[in-house]
Structure 1
Amino acid sequence: MPTRAIKAIFFTRFHHEKGSRVLHQVPEGSITPSTSPSALNAPLFDLDSITTYLIPTQQFCDHLLTFCTNHYRVIGYPVCIRENKYYRNEFIFNFAVVIEENVVDWGCWGEVVRKLGRLLRALEEQGGFLSREEKGVWDDDDDKMVYKKGYKGFGDLADLDRKADSGVWDVGPVASGSKVYALCEMILEDLNNYCECMIPIDESNTINLKLFPTHAPPAPIHPHHVPILTISLASLTSPISSDLTITRILPFINGTHSVSHISQLADTDLSLTRKAIQHLVYYGCVVVLDVFSFGAIYAPTAEIGGFITDKVVGEECARYVKVPRISIGRGIKMGSESDRGRDDRSSISSDTHRSEHIASTVTATEFEGVAKQTEDDDFKISHETLITLYTSLRQGLTLKNWCLENLDLLHDIDVRRLITFGVIKGFLYRVHRYAIATSSSLPSAPPTKLQDDQATIRGKLNHKPSVASNFTGNTGTGVKQEDIARLDSLVSDPERDALPLIKFLGGMHSFDEICTELKMSEQVVENKIKGVGDVQFIYR
């Protein structure tokens, strides 16, 4: 979000006889010429050309309006209050903000202007906050107003109305002593400096505004994705959310469990779990990675050059990937048992059966800092060692074989954390494996007679007899068993094994997705796919 993006704030009123008038502007001279010593040399744009949009027709009131002029974007929220106490039963105003036209994320300022317009409407309806300051402003025109184009001496009322229809009037020194003018000043300074403001109006009213950046919609979350926290839950003084699904899944987000596995551990609906993690990704609390596997292939991207030259990132990586050396005391068990099955996780098979013991005893939320632990300061991982390890990753080399090649350099280094750091920073990417079956290898469609028999059997299985049905329970059971046996005899074993895999053999589904969907290990899925027929595996 750019700093000091608000170039001007102004308050416009409409009078049915005197036309539109800029009562307040900050800074002075930004909208209409001003004689103030601190005024700008020239207005930011020609106000005559946009008067129609500042005070539009009734159907556009109480709606957010934005338009561009002279490389600036004006964001306004015109308001029309209809009550008998006002002249001609209407009170029309607009509180507008001016920012540069090239600001892409201007929607957050639009929400602030919308909220401010509604707040000022409520303040006016409650106690006349805006109209109280206009006493005498519309009466003493000869002493207080100067026509924008230099016209002095108003003449008769008809002449005044014609000029007011084409021009805007500005109030000079009178505006600087009002509460609305002070409100404009505080909003501009606070939003530009702090992106938020809290301005007390009276004993019972306070204006609270905050600029919330607009993030791009997060990518879809799939069951085989692995979320990893970017914040430390232990440092939070209050729950991260009141959402029940988020509260239940947070303890299981540890950087190793997939979305499907988290849904099972937390006993939550998979669709709700995916949506909850998508919300966490949107607000920057979670990043999504692929399932870590020693049978996977990783390779460096073009961003590896930045890691090589940036020693600060290298030191951060060294702190993150170093295996902590914790002093052993009474009541603390050694981690050998939990690490015993580390090398066995060469696939993502165990979403439903995977052990809760993970490869690293350090949680992923320590990515931004160093855990409080007892470490051996004599041994430090050098930046050159990390560069050698990352650059030795390549296409066609599985992570398991890479570990065997670099066994001497991996001393006191957590491999999972090493890979995770590179993927999050963007200088490593996962090489996925896909299966593509040729048309000749796919099972042919069953004959028409077989399809008819299957449809008949399914109809009998799904049929629910009414209360008045003459079929007894025993007869129904016998028919179902007979139909099930008949259905099994219509489909051969190879065809039955191939049917669930056919939809994944188009080259668009990675092995991570297939294994998670079928709840099978990578080796089992590979054998089943090879049994289908002529299938090619590609890496990309």
Structure 2
Amino acid sequence: MPTRAIKAIFFTRFHHEKGSRVLHQVPEGSITPSSSPSALRTPLFDVDAIINTYIIPNQQFCDRLLAFCTNHYRVIGYPVCIREGRYSRNEFIFNFALVVEEGVSDWIAYGEVARKLGRLLRGLEEQGEFLSREEEEGRVWEDDGATGGGGLGDGEGSFGLGGGSKVFALCEMVLEDLNNYAECMIPIDDSNTINLKLFPTRAPPPPIYAHQVPVLTISLSSLHTPISSDLTLNRILPHINGISSVAHIAQLADTDLSLTRKAIQHLVYYGCLVLLDIFSFGAVYAPTAEIGGFVVDESVKEECARYVRVPRMRIGSIKPKLGSVESERSRGGTDERSSISSSSRSQLHSEHTTPSDRAPAPDFSTTSVSWSVRDADSDDEESNAISHMTLITLYTSLRQGLTLKNWVLENVELLGGIDVRRLITFGIIKGFLYRVHKYAIATSTSLPPAPPASLQSVSTSAAVNHNDVSDQATIRGGHLARIPSLVAPTANAFPHPAGERRAEEMVRLNSLVSEEREQGLPLVRFLDGMHCFDEICTELGMSERVVEGKIRGVGEVQVFSR
């Protein structure tokens, strides 16, 4: 929210004899001229020209949020009309309005404050005559100077004191607290408190797709209370790890995909997570024009170095152990150690020795390779630190046409102690990297043709014979089980061996054609150039290589990247 956005707050009343008047204004002189030493030289706008039309409008516009612009300022008010017999003309009309600059885009948040404040003051007036009581004391309608601070003297603004105006003090506190803290809590009496808060108006969240990967921007472990009571949300939160896609999360959490998408959309709306693409070493990444900001910003490079650094492994020596595995476990040493099986060790030994050197080797059934993880706070932390030039070199070497796998092979020496996935994720989140997606567009599709006419006639006659039998059974009141294939009816149609072979060939051909058509038809709807390969693979549950092979069989398809 912009700081010091509220330029003025004023309270306006309609008097049955004196008409509409501005009773209180903060700061002084912002709405009407004032003789106070701290008053503004000139008002922000001419209130006389609009007070009877927009500030104290007709009763049809009361209890509605009204906002209008004048002299490059936006006035936001909520006029209230209370109809009761104790008031003159049986009604009490007032408006508590806020003034902000016309260029404030998020003025709806201030409108909600004006709406809530108007309703709260209405309730206070109906309960204890909070607003009309100072009028009965004769303090605000004495003379024309009442349009300033309400005829207040030395006790001006002293909230709750006998010599001051509570309404004027309320205006001051609301203005200062909302401008400084975007919220306020003002006690009125022992049983009433005004609580206001500026809630920024957030843009509607984008649609959530099954192939997107959510990444949390908050730490769930730091929350003392559950983030929500929603059952779906509580089930999917443990599976949001920055790696699994939305479809995979729904599968792991055993939740409906549509409900999972709505829950993630709820988190995106409140800024609890961001959405990324599926990380793959076969993908292509390239820097954007924002890479220049990363090069010159030292704080972002320091943040990147801390985020992508991983502990280095220090490989220990191979020590064959003749004891049993149980004795090794009993001696401890399992905190930062791991063991390799004998088969892996034998394979490793055979790969690094020539046939003539393969002498009888000792028994490695209990051989272990140990390593220790270097602590980030150890003495050699500075030697393991990632230099800024290394990060710049790695990011700028990414380009279109170069897969991440080949990029890793080219820069394997610079990637020591760096998490490649975090390196790419950091660039995507900060906006100086983007994913190059692959799309497919079909210029012409050719689905598998129908079976030959001769086999179609055989299938038709077999189906007719089967239908006749079914009809006869229905007439007799009997019941026949559904036959899932064409083997049974065609066997009756061809009692000779040649006919049986022909029927079997027809069944196999039909099964192949139906299988190809079933696989080709769902794929055709993605071949319009609007669906990336990540989406196609996720929707069909296939790998990218399998999808590419099936695309070739659909027809003439052009694959492009963007």
Does the Cα contact within 8 Å between 2:294 and 2:300 map onto a contact in 1?
yes
Shift of 1:444: 8.0
Specify the alignment match of 1:99 in structure 2. 100
TM-score (norm 2): 0.77
Q: Which amino acid aligns with 1:319?
A: R
Partner letter of residue 145 of structure 1?
D
Give the drift of 1:493. Answer: 4.1
Higher relative contact order (CA 8 A, sep 6+): 1
Distance 1:335 1:271 in 2: 43
Alpha-carbon distance in structure 1 between the residues aligned to 2:532 and 2:182: 43
1:311, distance to aligned residue in structure 2 (A): 1.7
Instruction: Give, in angstroms, the shift of residue 261 of structure 1.
Output: 0.5
Aligned pairs (5 A) from 1:226-305:
226-305=213-292
Q: Is the 8 A contact 1:494 1:532 kept in 2?
A: no
Distance 1:88 1:400, change over 3 A: same
Equivalent-residue separation in structure 2 for 1:126 and 1:432 (angstroms): 63
Tell me the amino acid that sits aligned with residue 560 of structure 2. I
CA contact under 8 A between 2:428 and 2:434: conserved in structure 1?
yes
Amino acid at match of 1:402: W
Change (3 A) 1:509 1:382: same
* Cα distance, 1:490 vs structure 2: 9.7
Deviation at 1:170, TM superposition (A): 8.1
Contact 1:326/1:375 (<8 A) preserved: no
Kindly, what percent of the aligned residue pairs are identical?
69
Matched, 1:508 2:530: yes
Larger Rg belongs to: 2
Please say if residues 12 and 95 of structure 2, whose CA atoms lie closer than 8 Å, have aligned partners that are also in contact: yes
How far off its partner does 1:533 sit?
2.6
Counterpart secondary structure, 1:401: helix
Q: State the Cα distance separating 1:144 from its structure 2 match.
A: 2.7
Helix, strand or coil for the counterpart of 2:384? coil
Residue 379 of structure 2 is aligned to residue 384 of structure 1: no
Q: 1:313 is matched with which residue: 278, 281, 300?
A: 300
Q: Does 1:442 align with 2:467?
A: no
1:173 match: secondary structure:
coil
Q: Cα distance 1:315–1:146, how it changes in 2: closer, same or farther (>3 A)? A: closer
1:193 maps to a residue whose letter is N
| Cα distance, 1:478 vs structure 2 | 3.5
User: Are 1:70 and 2:74 matched, yes or no?
Assistant: no
2:2 is aligned to: 2
SS at match of 1:475: coil
Residue 13 (str. 1) matches residue 17 (str. 2): no
Name the count of aligned residue pairs. 469
Q: Are 1:144 and 2:143 counterparts? A: yes
Q: CA deviation at 1:303?
A: 0.4
* Residues 470 and 80 of structure 1: CA distance in aligned 2, closer, same or farther (over 3 Å): farther
Tell me how far apart the structure 1 counterparts of residues 231 and 376 of structure 2 sit (CA, whole Å): 31
Q: Using the alignment, how far apart are the partners of 1:391 and 1:173 within structure 2?
A: 67
Q: 1:19 to 1:330 in 2, by over 3 A?
A: same
Does the CA-based 8 Å contact 1:301-1:428 persist in structure 2?
yes
Shift of residue 334 of structure 1?
4.7
Aligned residue for 2:480, secondary structure, equals helix
**1:173 and 2:195 aligned:** no
Contact 2:113 2:196 in 1 (8 A): yes
1:518 to 540, 550, 562: 540
1:535 aligns with 2:557: yes
Give the AA of the match of 2:73: Y
Structure 2 portions without partners, runs of 5+: 158-163, 316-332, 345-374, 467-473, 490-506
Partner of 1:536, secondary structure, is strand
The two structures have a TM-score, normalised by structure 1, of: 0.80
**What is the CA deviation profile of residues 142-177 of structure 1, one whole-angstrom value per residue up to 9, with x for unaligned ones?**
x53259xxxxxxxxxxxxxxxxxxxx8984436752
**Which region of structure 1 is more displaced relative to structure 2, 30-39 or 293-302?**
30-39
| Structure 2 Cα separation of the partners of residues 308 and 48 of structure 1 | 56
Change (3 A) 1:381 1:97: same
Q: How much has 1:374 moved relative to structure 2? A: 6.3
| TM-fit CA distance, 1:470 | 7.3
| CA distance 1:230–1:106, change in 2 (3 Å) | same
The letter for the 1-side match of 2:545 is: Q
| 8 A contact 1:327–1:374 mirrored in 2 | no
- Cα separation, 2, equivalents of 1:392 and 1:539: 19
AA paired with 2:44? L
Once residues 290 and 145 of structure 1 are traced to their aligned partners in structure 2, the CA distance between those partners, rounded to angstroms, is 66
Q: Given the superposition, is the C-alpha separation of residues 407 and 472 from structure 1 closer, same or farther in structure 2, using an over 3 Å criterion?
A: farther
Which residue identity does 2:277 align to in structure 1?
D
- How far did 1:18 drift? 1.6
* 1:137 counterpart SS class: coil
Could you report, residue by residue, the CA deviation over 1:81-137 in whole angstroms, capped at 9, with x for unpaired residues? 111111111111100000011101111100111111111111111111111111143
Tell me how far apart the structure 2 counterparts of residues 399 and 509 of structure 1 sit (CA, whole Å).
21
> Does the 8 Å CA contact 1:32/1:170 hold for their aligned counterparts?
no
Counterpart secondary structure, 2:439: strand
> Given residue 424 of structure 1, which amino acid in structure 2 is its aligned partner?
I
Residue identity in the other structure for 2:28: E
- For 1:345-383, what per-residue CA distance to the aligned partner results, in whole angstroms no more than 9, with x for missing partners? xxxxxxxxxxxxxxxxxxxxxxxxxx9876950211101
Letter in 1 for 2:557: V
Which position in structure 2 is the counterpart of 1:399?
A: 404
CA 1:187–1:2 in 2, change beyond 3 Å: closer, same or farther? same
Q: 2:32 maps to which residue?
A: 32
Query: What is the rounded CA distance, in whole Å, between the counterparts of 1:26 and 1:335 in structure 2?
Result: 74
Query: Is the 1:322–1:412 contact (alpha carbons within 8 Å) kept by the matching residues of 2?
Result: yes
Note the aligned Cα RMSD (angstroms).
Answer: 3.1
C-alpha separation in 2, matches of 1:385 and 1:438? 44
